[in-house]
Amino acid sequence: MLSAVVRQALRDVTARAPAGDPARKLAAVQAAARHTFPTGEVAQMLHDIDRGRGSV
């Protein structure tokens, strides 16, 4: 049955060890968290995006 194949595939994926060096991944996340970028209110940004799409 297909459901058995899917269950086995999910078991296989979750049983695998994560790829890559955890320390390197953590360092990348920490470096990204140090950056600051200007942001705005989500509703206003979505409005601006929609308004921009209409002008194309």
7-42 residue pLDDT tens:
999 898 888 877 788 999 999 999 988 988 777 889
Give the pLDDT of residue 55.
60
Q: Give me the mean pLDDT over the 43-54 stretch.
A: 88
**Residue-level pLDDT at 47:** 92
User: What pLDDT shows up at residue 53?
Assistant: 81
Domain-wise residue ranges, the chain: 2-54
Rounded to two decimals, the pTM is 0.37
Helix, strand, coil percent values for the chain (each to nearest 5): 70, 0, 30
- In angstroms, rounded to a whole number, what is the distance separating the alpha carbons of residues 36 and 53? 26
Q: What is the pLDDT of residue 29?
A: 92
